Amino acid sequence: MRWTMLSLLLLSSLPLHAQGNSIPTNSEVQEAQLANQWAEELPDGVKYRYPLLNGMSVSFNLFPPLIQLFGKGYCNYEGTLTLDLHHRFFPQFTAGAGYCDAKSKDIGYEVDDTHFQGLRYHSKMRPFFRTGMLFNFNYNDIKPNDFYGALIRFGYAYSKADVTNLSYTDANWGYVGPLEVKDLKFHSIWMEVGGFIKVQVTNHFSMGWDLAYKPFLHRGKDEHGKPYFVPGYGVANSKFGFGFHLYYDLNRK
């Protein structure tokens, strides 16, 4: 119903622009009045245009499930609760889970001259948590729905993994295999620093993108190996992360 009304609104307004018609519609008049009202400078001593608790949203990161469709052997599923404080600070709490079942095509174990088993890194679905803050650069903007800014977040995950079909060739002593490493355990903590964009799509729905540099504060190390995949982080060797988020804004009227 809402989409139908939006389509009608789009269709009804286009001819007016095309014809150069100068008669404003009622909604345009209302918006212009509202804009004039908001465009006024804030009174002295008033720092924020928007109230302390300005809103709340829930969001889902769609990027990891999307790239999984292109054959990646791992995925993270996550949901985030975001508060809007003065439309400037957006504290976030994310909870999710991730798994990995990746196989190498190049490294592995040679069963015989014609058969090859690729290295397999298998980590069951494990939870992760992330918390942090988005900072809106234009927090007193009269158009509050589309904005961009900086982000800082911290993540934690505990993961377990089994690695099979390993082999090793020593320059002096020759080939050894198959080898396996079972029950690797990792506690990982990382930081994310970057930028984001959020755009309103409909009254309640928004989309967002973010790009972040993700250094490990503690990558996690087991006596028998290092993690290849960390839930919530992704592949441990990658230093950058990208997110595509669908937001549902809870308190829009």
Partner 1 sequence: MTLQRLSDLYRPFRLLGGILLLTTLLSSCGNNGCEETRESVLLVQLKPTRGLSLYSLSAWGITAEGDSIPMLSNVSSPTEAEFTLQPDTTFTQIQLHCIVNDTGEYETFDNTLNIRYRHYPYFLDMECGCAIFYDVDSVWVSGALFQQVKLKNAHITNEENVNIILEY
> Strands, E, within 68-227: which ranges?
74-85, 89-110, 116-136, 147-170, 174-200, 205-213, 216-218
Q: How far is the CB of 203 from partner 1 (least distance, A)?
A: 13
Q: How far is the CB of 159 from partner 1 (least distance, A)?
A: 13
Q: Is 98 helix (H, G, I), strand (E, B) or coil?
A: strand
Binding site for partner 1 (CB under 8 A): 9-10, 13-14, 17, 27-28, 31, 102, 104, 106-108, 119, 121, 143, 146, 148, 163, 166-168, 170-173, 176, 179-181, 184, 197, 199, 201, 209, 211, 224-226, 228, 236-240, 242
Q: Which residue lies nearer to partner 1 by CB, 103 or 131?
A: 103
Residue 231: phi and psi, rounded to 5, are: -55, 135
Q: Which residue lies nearer to partner 1 by CB, 20 or 43?
A: 20
Q: Is 229 helix (H, G, I), strand (E, B) or coil?
A: strand
Q: Which residue lies nearer to partner 1 by CB, 95 or 211?
A: 211
Q: Which residue lies nearer to partner 1 by CB, 3 or 173?
A: 173
Q: How far is the CB of 131 from partner 1 (least distance, A)?
A: 23
CA-atom Rg of the chain in angstroms: 25
List, in sequence order, every residue forming a beta bridge with 118; answer none if it has no partner.
108
Q: How far is the CB of 172 from partner 1 (least distance, A)?
A: 5
Q: Which residue lies nearer to partner 1 by CB, 57 or 206?
A: 206
**Alpha helix segments (H runs only) across the chain:** 2-18, 26-39, 63-68
Q: Which residue lies nearer to partner 1 by CB, 131 or 167?
A: 167
Contact criterion met (CB below 8 Å) for 73 and 61: no
Q: How far is the CB of 100 from partner 1 (least distance, A)?
A: 10
For 56, left (φ over 0), alpha (ψ -120 to 50), or beta?
beta
